[in-house]
Amino acid sequence: MEFVMKQALGGATKDMGKMLGGDEEKDPDAAKKEEERQEALRQAEEELKAKYAKMEAEREAMRQGIRDKYGIKKKEEREAEAQAAMEANSEGSLTRPKKAIPPGCGDEVEEEDESILDTVIKYLPGPLQDMLKK
């Protein structure tokens, strides 16, 4: 029966034989071949990384040339300058830097004796103000 199955399946007989519980072929050099294959994969990966690193270095040189030509600073340089400016502003201060106060806030002096009713009356039309003041 096995012979008929081998004829019918052609090249797949080795796999079928293994699945049916047949003897597996042992390759004495299998471990050596696998090790060589892994080493070849590692070497190819390293070559690819080196190639990409070289390409990125060329791109960065081109970017730097453009930055120099137009006077543009790198993002890291801008952030470093902003950080240095913040540190210079807070130098000698014991507290955190103050936030900018929007214009118009805190400019006017509030009167303590003025009541809420007086404030509301101030914003009403003239005739209503006269009526409420009496």
Quick: pLDDT tens for 39-77. Answer: 999 999 999 999 999 999 999 999 999 999 999 988 888
pLDDT of residue 54: 97
SS3 for 108?
coil
Neighbours of 38 (CB within 10 A): 10
CB 1 within 8 A of CB 7: no
pLDDT range class, residue 86, cuts 50, 70, 90: confident
Lowest-pLDDT range of 10-19, 72-81, 122-131:
10-19
Lowest-pLDDT range of 46-50, 109-113, 128-132:
109-113
**How many angstroms from the chain centroid is the CA of residue 38?**
33
d(C-alpha 121, C-alpha 99), whole Å: 35
Q: Amino acid identity of 113?
A: D
CB 129 within 8 A of CB 121: yes
For the chain, which residues make up each domain, given as ranges?
33-91
d(C-alpha 105, C-alpha 98), whole Å: 15
pLDDT at 4 over 60: no
pLDDT at 6 over 70: no
- What are the C-alpha distances in Å from 131 to residues 121, 126, 128? 10, 9, 5
pLDDT range class, residue 92, cuts 50, 70, 90: low
pTM of structure = 0.41
pLDDT of residue 124: 79
